[in-house]
Amino acid sequence: MANMEVSLGALKLKNPVLAASGTFGFGEEYSQLFELQELGAIVVNGLTLEPRPGNPAPRVIETPAGMLNAIGLQNPGLEVFLTKELPRLKKSRAAVIVNIAGDNEEDYVGLARELSKEKGISALELNLSCPNVKRGGILFGTSTGAVERLVKKVRRICKLPLIVKLSPNVTDIAGLARAAENAGADILSLINTIKGMVIDTTEQRPFLGNITGGLSGPAIRPVAVRMVYEVYQAVKIPIIGMGGIINPEDALQFFMAGAAAVAVGTANFVDPLTIPRLISGLHSYLQSRNISGIEKIVGVAHSFGKE
């Protein structure tokens, strides 16, 4: 029997397929379709200290092979998460990863401190890369100095495994990955959405209320695979890869590029059963080739040309 369990350092997962932040809410709607504990983990909606209403509408538009969104971190805030969403998630026995964001370093540190006190959270994911908020995120995510400073501060008080989610809106993704690793990140996740724009030609104005948004879905997959490949060569810590995954074949590209686990975002909107289907498809792939576990194929694409 192929083993689907994976260990990303201290983070042990029953399988390597996660729900990506912002595309799975807090799991409630999906729990009516399947058992949340079947997933590798749920990365919950980006959380801030205080509730946020998000950006003005329209906030989403379909694009060729993807979508552009500018939700702007709409979320109920830390207190509602702790009193309402987390207890429900604990009951479902799902592995929960909390994605956090803020306007400044103190916001991130405050969230990490409070969340470290809670039981039932498997890891924290720092969203340094949301392209749709004007303050913190974009600044933190694009400069190696700022990434290093923030990750160091959070690392000092964070008792949970620490995932740092990288921005793809940079020229040197490997440099940022190294900065996060040097500052104490346990795991890296990539990629977040790529900054984009659609113009409404009838109205002669940008379509999204926020003017620009983040592109996701199959359109960004080759960029994401390339970035995972480059980051794998630059760091020693495990990588969670994402960007346009729909089918087992897509996920395999990420594993072979160097991801130890993958996450699925936009595809959940198209077919809410995507993740359970991926888990069983990957299991069948391993079985049919007599491969004992996913770790056997992680990074294999890097041997090309070296034999």
Ligand X SMILES: Cc1cc2nc3c(=O)[nH]c(=O)nc-3n(C[C@H](O)[C@H](O)[C@H](O)COP(=O)(O)O)c2cc1C
Positions annotated as catalytic residues are 130
Q: Which is nearer to ligand X, 15 or 216 (CB)?
A: 216
Beta carbon of residue 182, minimum distance to ligand X (angstroms, whole number): 21
> What is the identity of the amino acid at 290?
N
Which stretch of DSSP H or E encloses residue 107?
helix 105-116
DSSP element (H, E) containing 242: strand 239-242
How far apart are CB 290 and ligand X at their closest, in Å? 29
- Residue closest to ligand X (Cβ): 22
**Range 221-243 burial, b when 16+ CB lie within 10 A, else e:** bebbbebbbbbbebbebbbbbbb
Report the side by side order of strands in the sheet with 66-69.
60-63, 66-69, 213-216, 194-196
Summary count for the chain: helices (H), strands (E): 10, 16
Task: Report residue 125: phi and psi, to 5°.
Answer: -120, 120
The two three-digit tokens of residue 2, written as one number? 């192929």
* Choice between 61 and 301, CB closer to ligand X: 61
Residue ranges binding ligand X (CB under 6 A): 20-23, 45-46, 69, 71, 73, 99, 127, 130, 165, 192-193, 216-217, 220, 242-245, 264-267
Distance of closest approach, residue 23 Cβ to ligand X, in angstroms: 5
Sign of CA dihedral 226, 227, 232, 233: positive
Q: Which is nearer to ligand X, 111 or 267 (CB)?
A: 267
Closest CB to ligand X among residues 237, 245: 245
Find the radius of gyration of the CA atoms of the chain.
18
Tell me the closest approach of the beta carbon of residue 36 to ligand X, in angstroms: 17
Is the Cβ of residue 6 or residue 100 nearer to ligand X in the bound state?
Answer: 100
In the complex, what is the shortest distance from the CB of residue 286 to ligand X, in angstroms, rounded to a whole number? Answer: 22
The residue assigned the tokens 């793809």 is 168
The residue whose two tokens read 């940079």 is: 170
